Structure 1
Amino acid sequence: MSNIKLDPAVVARRIEEDDAADIFVLDVRNEDDYEEWRIDESTNVPIYDELLEYDYSTLEDHLDELPKDAEIAVVCVAGVTSARAAEFLREHGFDAQSIDGGMNGWGRVHRQYDLEDADGAEGVVQIVRPGTGCVSYLVHDGEAAVVVDPSQYVDQYLNAAAERDLEIVGVADTHAHADHVSGARRLAGELDVPYYLHGDDAGDLENVSELADGETIPVGGRELDAIHTPGHTPGSVSFRFGDALLSGDTLFLRSVGRPDLEDGAEEAVRTAASQLFDSLERLTDLEDDVVVLPGHFSDESVRPLATELGDLREETTNELLSYVADGDEEAFVETIVESLADEPANYNEIKQINWGKEQPGGDVEALELGPNNCAAN
């Protein structure tokens, strides 16, 4: 069987850029898997089990629904059944390729955006994982750089720094993550630079430079200022870098961080939600022209993910933030308690790794695949 593979990073770029109309993503996984986690604008024909048995009858029934004038990128779980489907489609005259690694490969894609054109965000590179909704950052001044919230794929940050002739002098996490395995300790260890994390989220970790509210991380001639913003976790911080606010999982563009992943008991959630409300009040007291750079996104298509705080206050897409603007803590807490979604997949095991209580095993990449579900609603 010939297997023409399509780089998932190329798919991500083409979906985002102007030639998106020239690519058609066909997902052949089962419907439940597709509904849980999928590539935006993809089309599902649930024939995964049939393809395992080399049964192409249902796919053949759908041929009239597929475009002849676009490249078809077929995706499955790991790239095996999608390769079978792509070959069948090519035999029937379609320009079809299989996405290399399937959704597993999609989850590893990272996209870089320099924010030089965003007023107030000079010296910030945003690194987005479109398949998982995770966002990390490379902040820099002169030849020095600090990485914030890196994924476990540390080469992405080493390469981003090398491309810009930067030396990474520190690595930081805004909090102990529950949705993805942090690469911060590994990256800091490989480079022999400090790893920064608030003490309340440090767990059993060793060799941590513990941050407290108001402390700074040097970045060339500038500083990354730590603002303690508990609620999502006890040790959550946001970082201010000039007029850029790296808000971690405290403030997103359309929601806020969920406060139930440390303790899901209702009283604990209410307490953490009240802390989160106070943290958001503190952040929303900042100037209107501060650029909010979140640690996650859901279905926002704008790139880079950046909105001035003043605009974010005025928009109606962030219901929970509107309660903060109105000073309505009761409505904020009740809305969070009533609208929490499913927890991130494997979040307890991921947190144990990020706290240093467990060592990552051979399935560490698979642990974080799927929707991040870190938003409160």
Structure 2
Amino acid sequence: MTAKAMKASEVAKKVINKEELFILDVRNEADFADWKIEGEAVTSINTPYFELIDGIDPVRNDLPKDKPILVVCAKEGSSKFVAEMLAEDGFKEVSYLEGGMKSWSEYLYKTKVYQDEKIKVYQLIRVGKGCLSYMVISGKEALVVDPARFLDVYETIAADEGVKITHIVDSHLHADHISGGKQLAEKTGAAYYLMKSEGAVFDFEPLENYHKIHFEQVNLEVLAVKTPGHTPGSVSFFVNDKLLFSGDTIFVGGLGRPDLGGKVREWANDLYDTVYEKVATIADDVVVLPGHYASLDEEMNSNGYIGDLLGNIRSRNDMMQNKGKAEFVDMVEANANTETPPNFEEIVAINRGELEADGEKQQELEIGPNRCALHHTN
């Protein structure tokens, strides 16, 4: 028996389809505690690689004899070594994660969100990171919302659909991952839109100049201009009065955290204005499509994507229910998450154009979960 490589795409499919998966994670305890592969049908145990160098005796009795086992490490090498020892010892269906947790962090899962006679919308779920991006296709053109740095994914979809990427928008200056917006615009010739107030030092189209963006049969309305929540220039995009691409302002289970800039009360006031003035005028049957999620199991709906009707989100989230500004701001401050996204200052500097990083450095900076939500409801 030999161990086999399992791609991140195969793992994601099992997680999303809630297929049983047993994982032996051989990273160090701190890394495992901070971030791991999770899912409703996932069982995982952690035994650091250095405890297994001389053999599998430390975990032999903790592993199932009749179920497939996936061994996971940071980059692949350690998990492959341990997986081969397990296979040689007689364990059946042993695999190791190809590319390690780095590959898990970078995989994007495509799912269709919406389609009518005017538009088709795909959601790209970064399963290992909790980040979401979108492609809105109409006629022969496409809009990309909050693109990750993996440009080939969007280019492949555009080619498959026979469309040209003509518009790219970032809802805010991301703090937990590196945006692909600028690079994708340079490759495709698309217009790239970002709020000027986010402080980017490269050329782009300032969203402050656009109340609406039109192309083909898409009418994109820019919401929350000058009424941010998550960052000074955080915006949402309302498409065809049916879909709200909410960035990190509204999640399926909560609101964006306004504390990363050290102005939690000031920005909480802005978040209140966004929620109770801008968003309050939007109908309950509008579909909210956020920029992140906290739990795939809890937030993926029966249609197979992350999102929900605005009315359902309002009904679950007490912070969106008839709160006065003072009470709301107090609640935000009390729930402010002191744990910031790893390396967020460097990531923000890269996204602002003030710092450069090669592919390996970008990969290193992004490792770990997203921490962009302020408050999640059950």
What TM-score, normalized to structure 1? 0.90
* Structure 1 residue 346 displacement after superposition: 0.3
Q: Does the CA contact (< 8 Å) of 1:29 and 1:44 recur in 2?
A: no
1:115 and 1:222 mapped to 2: Cα distance? 16
Partner residue, 2:187 = 190
Partner residue, 1:249 = 248
Runs of 4+ in 1 over 6 A off after TM superposition: none
State the AA in 2 paired with 1:45.
N
Unaligned runs of at least 5 residues, structure 1: none
Q: How does 1:318-357 map to 2 (within 5 A)?
A: 318=317, 322-341=318-337, 342-357=339-354
What TM-score, normalized to structure 2? 0.90
Larger mean CA deviation between 39-48 and 53-62 belongs to 53-62
Q: Secondary structure at the match of 2:79?
A: helix
State the AA in 1 paired with 2:35.
W
Larger mean CA deviation between 325-334 and 140-149 belongs to 325-334
Unaligned runs of at least 5 residues, structure 2: none
* Structure 1 residue 219 displacement after superposition: 3.0
Q: CA RMSD in A?
A: 2.0
Partner residue, 1:280 = 275
1:366 and 1:85 mapped to 2: Cα distance? 24
Q: Across the two proteins, how many residue pairs are aligned to each other? A: 360
Q: Secondary structure at the match of 1:330?
A: helix
Q: How does 1:144-183 map to 2 (within 5 A)?
A: 144-183=141-180
1:72 and 1:121 mapped to 2: Cα distance? 45
Partner residue, 1:57 = 57
Partner residue, 1:200 = 197
Q: Secondary structure at the match of 1:116?
A: strand
1:269 and 1:45 mapped to 2: Cα distance? 37
1:353 and 1:192 mapped to 2: Cα distance? 21
Question: Does residue 1:84 correspond to 2:85, yes or no?
Answer: no
2:163 and 2:68 mapped to 1: Cα distance? 38
Partner residue, 2:305 = 304
- CA gap of 1:115–1:169, structure 2 versus 1, over 3 A, is same
1:142 and 1:121 mapped to 2: Cα distance? 8
State the AA in 2 paired with 1:306.
G
For 1:153-199, what per-residue CA distance to the aligned partner results, in whole angstroms no more than 9, with x for missing partners? Answer: 11111112222222111111001100100000000001112110111
1:372 and 1:50 mapped to 2: Cα distance? 30
Question: Does residue 1:225 correspond to 2:225, yes or no?
Answer: no
2:74 and 2:43 mapped to 1: Cα distance? 14
* Structure 1 residue 116 displacement after superposition: 2.9
**Percent identity of paired positions between Structure 1 and Structure 2:** 34
* Structure 1 residue 113 displacement after superposition: 1.1
Question: Does residue 1:295 correspond to 2:286, yes or no?
Answer: no
State the AA in 2 paired with 1:311.
N
* Structure 1 residue 333 displacement after superposition: 2.0
- CA gap of 1:327–1:39, structure 2 versus 1, over 3 A, is same
1:88 and 1:291 mapped to 2: Cα distance? 49
Q: Secondary structure at the match of 2:111?
A: strand
